[in-house]
Chains A and B, each alone.
Chain A
Amino acid sequence: MVRPKAPAKKQQKKAIDFKKIKRKLGRKLPPPKNATNTEIKSKAIILPEQSVGAEKSGIATSKKGLTLKELLQQTSHHNPKVRKDALLGIKDLFKHYPAEMQSHKYAIIQKLRERVTDDDKLVRDAFYKLFEADVFPACIEDNLGPMVSLLMPYIFSAMADSSIDVRLMAFKFFHLVVKNYPPTFSLYAEKILENYTDIIQKNHFYVQDKSKLKVALSGLEHCLSLLPCDESDTESQKKGHLQNETLLAYEQDVAEESVRFAHVSGKLKEIVGVLINCFQDFIPLIRARGGLDEASFDCINHILCGVRYAIKFSNRMHIPRQAILDQETASMLLKKLLGSFPLNPENNLSGKVAEWYFILNSVLTEIFLEVSKWSQWSHLPTDLSNRCLEFIERTLLGKITRGNSKSTHEKTLLALLPSVPKLILRVDHDWRDNLLQAFTTAFNDCKPDSELKLACISTIRDLIIPNGDILYSSASDPTVVDYQSAWVKKLPSLLNQLGDKHPLSTQAILQLFLDLGRFGCLNASPTFEEEPTSEEEPTFEEGIGYFFNPYQGKGNVSGGSFASLPEEAQELALCFLFYFTIDSFSAPLLESIVSCCLYPQLEPAVLYRIVEILHTAYRAGYIQITDHFSFLVTLVARFKVVPEKGQLAMECNEHETSRDTFKALTNRVCSCLSEMGDGPLVLQILEKILLEQIILKPALDNGCAILRMICALDSKPTRLSEKSIATLCEFLPGYLIDIVKSIPEDKEKSSYLYMQTCLYYLVPCYFLFDRSSKLTEEVLKRMQSIVSENTKALESVQDRESGRNSLNLIQHTVSVVLLMHNDVKLRKIISSSKAEIDLILQNVVSFQSSGSTSLTVEAKHSMRIAGERLKIASNSLLA
């Protein structure tokens, strides 16, 4: 190897001492051609491994490459920053690997729960956020119970921690747990309440530290709201699905919620006291200039709501011995809490602040109403009750408007309305009248489709039928009755305004109507009866009439909504109709119902139900016999069957056609008629009306139905009068020919379906013929004359159109005779009038042989066939 530079250096060293070697600048000596490249290049530097357990591919890791196990270990690291980072890491891990959470949740919780008592604020916050955002939402579907039971001991110990911040976080965290798993409260109720009492009472937060106080109070309010205090939820359970109820089972009383909480009442009493004291601390703030700030409003609201829940719960328990509200607490409530009622904002405050005061006042009023349930009205401090009543009255009247948004006002009213009925029963007369007036105003003012209207309706219900049982005690009091009748009178028009878009409200009104009818409130009191009202305002009855009538009413009133309501509402309406008929059945109402029945869109089932209901009402004696007759007859005579002709029931069998509906209706009407008394007697009454209908030549189906009605009532021999028989003689030939005309003959004439269809229309005629031989004779005679007339016409008339008509008529007549002949029983009956049939035959045959020019070949052929068949028939009659 040649090293060119090394000798140069040696030379330099030597030269330093002696002489300066001149070097040429700017030019370098080119490397010697045989120089070797000594540069070292490499693509990567590979070091030997350092960590042992780092094979992490396929294992869930956080951003920093740590596994869940490592992260959990780090959560108990002595450095708070590491702990926090570990928690954040877990959060990150869950974000990318949600399944990790599910599979390791118990391990995770067992490790993480220690962090509730962490002394670093940032760690605690991270911990809270982890649970809030990830752990609980991920487990929401499974039973949180075991997890909560793992957490609770740590939470309780944190609640008793020496550091106030840790304690607060414990409460905050506990609130989170309760939000996610409400049964937590009932499981640990006693201990939880104890802790809350402790924190609110002992560590006196001064009012300054409101945000901290708020944490505790909001949690407490939430817990108290879980006490079973709302009666409405049990009501709704009642109406829930019944199929899950066990018929026979041993059930322990403990299962009932209120029993589960029975032992906490002592603690509740304590906490109510603490809350009242807390409220007292806020009083200076309430009265301060400038009004409340938001934080204090929140605190006060939580306090008051908490108290309200506790009292509601104790009122519901109905256990006077263990009540929270003993005399002492009650007086404390009245003095300390309600003494400052109403909280009045200064006039110059902004709208929002004024609204806060309004909300607080309404909660205070609710508390007052709850307290007043417990003691006698007269024992309450008069000025306080007056102030409360005034507040309620002004709210009902909508007079407290300053700063109130509509929703707040409505919410308050919804909360206050349920207690109005009981209040009205208790207060003295002056206040009662005021409240009644205010309630009437509120009822009239709210929108028909609002929730408030619904609440008003249930209030009306409670006012007229308290407990669903006893009539309003002062029903004899004319002012109360006046108010009541005013409300009730408003309801039908409200019902019509609602239409079919608000089934809930409609149903509530109908239920109210039904109950009023059932309990006789609608009819018994004379004020509910018709009174001369202004022209625009329809009377109660007219309103009901509109409701049922689906067609356009008077003026611009749109059709009633009955026909388009859901099934349940219709059923309710019909039940109401039954009770309504007791005293208030009138011709206009009947008209409405008939037009409802004839409404094409009406469900057949509802139609049958209407007939059933009215028949029941008739049987009970509420509807006059004449009205009922006219109802039934009108129904049968006017019902429109679509399509009118052509495809009779032969083709469409899939769904019920209006023809099937009409058949079923006819059956029902007939059975109703037969239940009304002795057949012949009923017939005697109905004969005239029915025959009047027949003279009008109704459509085939209606005609058939009327004939069926006659048959159902008649007996053998017929009881019809001479005149009626004559009318029937006029009608029947045309009817019979109609049958043949409208039912298209099948290719195979004897097909079962065809025979069945024909038979349905023919059977009533058969009955009539069977019962009156005279009728048979007359009808055949007429048919014979039709044939002879038409043959004559055919011979003379040259007009092609009328010629075909006559020909068809003859053919149809022949078909009728053949049809009648086909029936075994009827063959016997008509055999007595063989002469007429022979005459028809003669006519046909003679016409055929006459060889009229007007006949086409086809016509001639068909006439011949007709003649042959008639001949066979007539021969068999002889035999």
Chain B
Amino acid sequence: QSENSSLLPSFSEEDREIDMEISIIASSFIDGEIGSWDLKTGKALLKFKPCASPAHGLTAVGDKFLAASQLKASGSSGSIFFWSWNKPQVEVRSFPKEPILALTANSEGTYIVGGGKSGEIYLWEVATGKLLKKWHGHFQSVTCLVFSGDDSLLVSGSGDGSVKVWSLIRLFDDLQRQKGSTHEHYFTEHTMSVTDIVIDYGGCNALIVSASEDRTCKVWSLAKGKLLRSIVFPSAINALALDPCGSVFYAGGRDSKIYIGAMNATSDHCTKVLGSISEESKAITCLAYCAEGNLLLSGSEDGKICVWDPKTRHPVRTFDHGKGPVSNIQVVRKTFVTNLNKTLSSWKRNGASLPPPLEKFEKPEEDGIVIVDPPPFSDVPVYSSYLSADLIDEQVRELQQQGSAATEIEMERLKLEYKKSLQMNDQWQKNYENLLQVVMELQNGVTN
């Protein structure tokens, strides 16, 4: 216990009382470290070394640990490093088959998805490190990966300008794959590399906004599967952040300005500008939004991280990350469980033992093919248009209702035990009655 607190000197007595600690992490293209700061106090926290991750290559895996893909590759294979929250050194190193650019994890931190330089997408299970699936996503490198709010869909953007939407459950459908269509949607309207994608809270029917080097941001509807808006900006857009109200988004331009784009834009061109970090500052490279306190974070080419108040459009605070351009910023929320008497946070405990490294190759298929959908009757509306976490939940519930052999055995055992205890109870009852009789007789005998 004392060890832990010494490693994290910033946690004072006060920190223990709050439920949530919000910090930001940032990494760079060039050799450096992952910096982390407390957003409230602005205090610099632990630095994780060494790390040189590409844009969208840094992610917090649930609240368990930190993962980043590395630009520096050994030979032809790429590398992904894991850090636990309380140690600055790399704890686990994995070496996937090719350099990984984009990296992301679902909100619970059970899966990690990586996008390769060749356009392949890899899906790993965190707990075992197993490579569950590897598939050909794009013609060129995968530049960004985003999970939908309910974790049922994965949206990938690529250097070839395409955006694809994948259903995690359908990916495992071998029959669909044989037919050649694994993606849910395929958007090709961007003419150049996609740089960032954000998704709103609509789950599997969300709106997504994508930014591209072709100077446009496009708004797509997953429900309709088509383009809704295309907004032209004065420069190429490097990064996006979505306002929590969902009607505007922030776009970080290569001309060092942060633009405010309206989702429901009526004109083709964006006019509102949030501002630039300073006069001679460099291109904005990444953005993040922190809903707690309504703050917008921007990272720039010259290594500065700026915290903005989007309402007043003024910078609130700046962090200095270092010389190299900031490639990633992420807001991390760590939950403390205060009612535990030893103030151990859940992530700290989980962080104590990191999972095994990610595997390089897919395990050979088990026999038989997996079918998720009943394909021949794809005109059945439920299956063709409705794919969401709700469906998964429903199936889980059905499975639970059906029950498994193990629970049945357990039930049998319990029933047996119950019967035994009943018998035992009877036995004891009899004994008691017998004893009572004896006592009565004795008593009678004494009185007599």
Task: State the A residues within 8 Å of B (CB).
Answer: 238, 242-243, 245, 247-248, 319-321, 468-470, 514-515, 518-520, 571-572, 575, 578-579, 612, 616, 620, 671, 674-675
Contacts and interface: CB of A to CB of B under 8 A. Distances in A.
Nearest to B214: A575
Contacts of A247: 207, 219, 221, 228-229, 263-264
Interface residues of B, number: 35
A675 B192 contact: no
18 contacts: A242-B229, A242-B230, A243-B229, A243-B265, A243-B268, A247-B207, A321-B379, A468-B186, A518-B162, A571-B191, A571-B214, A575-B192, A578-B192, A578-B213, A620-B159, A671-B283, A675-B283, A675-B301
Among A248, A470, A518, max chain B CB count under 10 A is at A518
Contact of B226 (A238, A518, A674, A675): A238
Given A515-B188, A572-B191, A578-B213, 8 more contacts: A242-B227, A242-B229, A243-B265, A243-B267, A245-B228, A247-B221, A518-B139, A620-B159
B151 interface: no
B186 A469 contact: yes
Nearest 6 A/B pairs, CB to CB:
A575-B191, A518-B160, A519-B139, A245-B228, A520-B139, A575-B192
Interface in B198-226: 207, 213-214, 219, 221, 226
Contacts of B162: 518
B282 A671 contact: yes
A620 B207 CA distance: 29
A468 B188 contact: yes
A863 B350 CA distance: 85
Contact of A248 (B207, B254, B379): B207
B235 interface: yes
Contact of A519 (B160, B236, B263): B160
Interface string B225-250: 01111100001100000000000000
B137 to A, nearest CB: 11
Contacts of A674: 282
A46 to B, nearest CB: 73
B180 interface: yes
Contacts of B388: none
Nearest to B378: A318
A371 to B, nearest CB: 21
Interface string B188-200: 1001110000000
Interface of B: 139-140, 159-162, 180, 186, 188, 191-193, 207, 213-214, 219, 221, 226-230, 235-236, 254, 263-268, 282-283, 301, 379
A616 B235 CA distance: 12
A371 B328 CA distance: 55
Nearest to B263: A247
Given A468-B188, A575-B192, A612-B254, A242 B228 contact: yes
A470 B180 CA distance: 8
Contacts of B379: 319-321
B132 to A, nearest CB: 24
Nearest to A668: B255
A571 to B, nearest CB: 7
Contacts of B214: 571, 575
Contacts of B140: 518, 520
Contacts of A518: 139-140, 160-162
Nearest to A246: B228
**In the complex, which of the residues A468, A470, A515, A579 has the most CB atoms of chain B within 10 Å of its own CB atom?**
A579
B445 to A, nearest CB: 90
B207 A612 contact: no
Contact of B282 (A242, A248, A616, A675): A675
Contacts of A612: 235-236, 254
Contacts of B266: 243
A572 B191 CA distance: 7
B301 A514 contact: no
B135 to A, nearest CB: 13
Contacts of B282: 671, 674-675
Nearest to A582: B140
A616 B236 CA distance: 10
Contacts of A515: 188
A572 to B, nearest CB: 7
Contacts of B264: 247
A257 B381 CA distance: 18
Contacts of B213: 578, 616
Contacts of B235: 612
Nearest to B191: A575
Contacts of A245: 228-229
A523 to B, nearest CB: 11
Contacts of B161: 518, 575
Most chain A Cβ neighbours within 10 Å, of B214, B227, B265, B283: B214
Nearest to B207: A247
Nearest to A521: B139
B402 to A, nearest CB: 31
B176 to A, nearest CB: 14
B196 to A, nearest CB: 15
Contacts of A671: 282-283
- Select the residue from B140, B192, B236, B282 with max chain A CB neighbours within 10 A: B192
B25 to A, nearest CB: 24
Nearest to B219: A247
B235 to A, nearest CB: 7
Contacts of B268: 243
Nearest to A470: B180
A245 B226 CA distance: 10
A177 B263 CA distance: 42
Contacts of B193: 616, 620
B185 to A, nearest CB: 12
Nearest to B264: A247
Contacts of A238: 226-227
A468 B268 CA distance: 26
A477 to B, nearest CB: 18
